[in-house]
Amino acid sequence: MSAPLHAVPPLPHAPQLPQQPEATRAQRLALLAGLLVAAWLALQLFASVLLPFVAAAGIAYFLDPPATRLTRAGLPRGAAALLLIVTLITAGLLFALLLYPLLLSQIGILIARVPTYVASLRHFAADVIARLQQRLGPDYVDEKLRDLVGGQVGAMLGFLAGALSRVIGGGFALFNVISLAVVTPVVSFYLLRDWPRIVARVDGWLPRRYAGVLRAQAREVDRILSAWVRGQAVCCLVLALFYASGLSLVGLDLGLIVGMASGVLSFIPYVGTISGAVMSIGLALAQFPHWTGVALVAAVFVAGNLLEGYVIYPRFLGDRVELHAVWVIFALFAGGAAFGFVGVLLAVPVAAVIGVLSRFWLRRYLGSPLYLDPPPERLDL
């Protein structure tokens, strides 16, 4: 019969496990720098093919909360992901079938009316020059200046109309690319289905020394980013419907396309409202023979601005979004200049990460001796 376990004498020379050496500060900095360089090189090398994957990651991130709620209700995660992706595809197809022909017809109307708008603006510029000539005299304003201004106004409007048609056509052609129409839904489904496992796997890769700090900062980034992304999506949808409906009701011929464009561009602070208002008022001046129509168009944007500032933003965004408007605008333009449309998609997440890390290091600095050390005592000579 063997002796009880507690009576077994310890081994006289138990082997000692080798002590794991601690990482040095230089190694940690080298790891961080290596990750940043690898991410930068990946964006530089694969930016042309990353669009469907970045879009799929954004869709999976956006749909993760409803998928989690469906899973808690008893639906398997794969079935919940499939249901949400199919619903999204169905909504996109309905949009294409119902609104795409109307938008194309309005683009055709815009292109057909460009010569009329050019002639109207040229006539308006000529009248302004004539009035200036009457007030200032022919020595300051001559016929050559009048012709030059009229020609330049027409050229500028023609350029803007052509650029607008190319941008709109290119934007809709983008949705017809096979990579976005086929690859993005498939990748979105797999990412959405495996999202909890992906997050758990990444969490398992965190360095143990800084795991708690990194998790806290990741939760802060998720809080800010989720509030901004989902809030801006609701904001853009509501404003697009409001502007398109309002401008169409007041009788603006191109109200549908201008209103939808203004709503979609509202994710860039102030850009959507200002650009939409300027374009709509300009079209109203060319279309309506009286000022009542122009005033109604302006009233639509005033009401939309009040709706955004006092209803949509406090309800869906509020104080949870710690991203300043100037910082968002800079991030979007910088991302677009560096990596194109992929950079635009990545701009706000990167801006949120930089903002959270900046506030974290600022708190560390304000609590460190670098900030708290008192000034040296003054020596009285």
Q: Nearest CA to 110 among 158, 45, 176? A: 158
Q: What is the pTM of this model?
A: 0.68
Which CA distances in Å does 306 have to 239, 263, 303? 11, 14, 5
Q: What is the pLDDT of residue 174?
A: 47
Q: What is the pLDDT of residue 3?
A: 47
- Rounded to the nearest 10 degrees, the angle between the axes of helix 184-193 and helix 195-204 is 60
- Taking the C-alpha atoms of residue 145 and residue 136, their distance in angstroms, rounded to an integer, is 13
At 361, is the secondary structure helix, strand, or coil? Answer: helix
- Non-local (6+) Cβ contacts of 67 within 8 A are 77, 80, 81, 84, 192, 195
Tell me which residues of the chain have a pLDDT lower than 70: 1-20, 110, 113-114, 117-118, 120-126, 128-129, 132-179, 316-322, 378-381
Q: Nearest CA to 317 among 226, 240, 218? A: 226
- Non-local (6+) Cβ contacts of 240 within 8 A are 259, 260, 262, 263, 264, 266
In the chain, where are the structural domains located?
A: 212-365
Which CA distances in Å does 216 have to 36, 210, 360, 362? 20, 10, 10, 16
Could you give phi then psi for residue 8, rounded to 5 degrees?
Answer: -70, 120
60-75 b/e (C-beta count within 10 Å ≥ 16 → b) = bbbbbeebeebbeeee
- pLDDT tens digits, one per residue of 20-51: 677 777 887 888 888 888 888 888 888 777 88
Residue 329 neighbours by CB distance under 10 Å: 15
**Rounded to 10 degrees, what is the CA torsion of 358, 368, 37, 334?**
20
Residue 149 neighbours by CB distance under 10 Å: 17
Give me the DSSP letters along 6-68. Answer: GGSPPPTTPPPPPPPPPPPHHHHHHHHHHHHHHHHHHHHHHTTT-HHHHHHHHHHHHHHHHHH
**Contact 344/336 with Cβ under 8 angstroms?**
yes
Q: What is the pLDDT of residue 66?
A: 93
**Contact 315/307 with Cβ under 8 angstroms?**
no
Residue/partner pairs of 100-105 with CB below 8 Å, 24 or more apart: 100/172, 102/256, 103/168, 103/172, 103/256, 103/257, 103/260
The letter for the amino acid at 222 is D
- Taking the C-alpha atoms of residue 150 and residue 144, their distance in angstroms, rounded to an integer, is 10
